[in-house]
Amino acid sequence: MDAVASPRKMPMLEMPRDEQAFAIVDRIYEAALAAELWPDALEAASALSRSASGAIFLVSDQLPVRAIGEAHLQPLLDEFMAGDNWTLSESVQRMCSMQPASFVRIDDFMTGEEIERDPIYACAKTFGVGLPVCTSISMPSGELALFVFQRWLRDGKYDQAAIDLLNGLRPHFARAGLVAARLGLERARTAVSILRDIGLPAAIMSGSGRVLTANLLLEDMADVLIPLAHGGMALADEQANALFQQAITQNQDNRIVRSIPVAAIEGRPALIVHVFPLRRAAHDFFSGADILVATTAVDIGANVPSPSILSGLFDLTPAEARLATELASGRSVQEAAMEIGVSIKSARTYLERIFRKTETSRQSQLVALLRSARTFP
């Protein structure tokens, strides 16, 4: 099979870097509700990272693997998925088991011999495409979302700068993947079907914070959400509500996107409240709406959460997620710093950022919250 010609991706690259990032984030959230637009969102991220293509895979024990990618390399994706060829790939199985908390180069975790016998590698070479970078994100539905980007062979391996750019988009991929997994990578046809099919307590709000519609799951959470005058909504948890109101107020001007932890109370587990912007085509589903709010519960348990879960829940960087995981395991800051290979000064800087992102102020409080984020229901 002949190699596929490289598409022209200059319009995105000609934009200033900040505008590129905003445009890509908008497209990611647009695609969450309009699955046919995932190729556009992935292409925008590919342009930023000098990739040949990108794809998203949803892996589940209950359903067949679902995937969607950029149109110009759809034949490669089709060949990869045909006859469950993906199950024969050691690289895929390794990424699913490792669940890396950031984008990583596949070849950093495989020997040359393993790469050569991997059917994906042989298939990709036929199309002129090299080994990918990949990240995996655990979803509340029990599915695993894999985001995969590949470069043309002639462009060589991914450098760290490109991987850092993709890691900057990872929290947005995580939130959009949450909705995409619930909707099954299919277009949501109406506002009613979105709130029904998402399977999570959810509401649609205007930019001013007025609730336009909510599903029954959210309406039953009277101990978490408080109705306000003029159709507004607040969180009962005071600290969490400060972040929630800030996210709503700043959503339009600063594109604030947040995943807000809500502490457990007697009879109710800890929660994460996700604030999603409704962008571009996704905005068209809901007249006058700007924000989708959805909540996910987390189980209380003694096990330590994975870095990938912490990264997705609290917007932690890979380094912050690794430190948080070590702290949740019972290690001191000094021990955790040694374990992840950073200085104590850097670890303390990471810890201060983690405190801000999780709205905690003490290490014991942080560890209790992190342990509550062990799994999704």
Report the mean per-residue pLDDT for the chain: 79
User: What average pLDDT does the segment 190-204 reach?
Assistant: 78
pLDDT at 102: 80
Q: Which of 132-136, 301-305, 312-316 has the highest mean pLDDT?
A: 132-136
Per-residue pLDDT tens for 86-135?
677 778 888 877 777 789 998 888 888 888 888 778 788 888 998 889 98
Alpha carbon distance 270, 299 (integer Å): 7
Position 9 pLDDT exceeds 80? no
pLDDT at 217: 86
Read off the tokens for 46: 């590919």
Question: The sheet that has 104-105: what strands, in order across it?
Answer: 66-69, 53-59, 144-152, 129-138, 104-105
* Residue 326: closest CA among 357, 356, 354: 354
Position 254 pLDDT exceeds 60? no
User: Cα dist. 93→96, 141, 305, 311 in Å?
Assistant: 5, 20, 21, 21
Read off the tokens for 56: 């998203």
Per-residue pLDDT tens for 314-367?
767 778 888 988 888 889 999 999 999 999 999 999 999 888 777 677 888 788
* Residue 324: closest CA among 359, 377, 371, 260: 371
Position 36 pLDDT exceeds 60? yes
pLDDT at 313: 63
DSSP H or E stretch at residue 271: strand 271-277
Position 14 pLDDT exceeds 60? no
Among 130-144, 153-167, 204-218, the range scoring the smallest mean pLDDT is 130-144
Alpha carbon distance 157, 143 (integer Å): 29
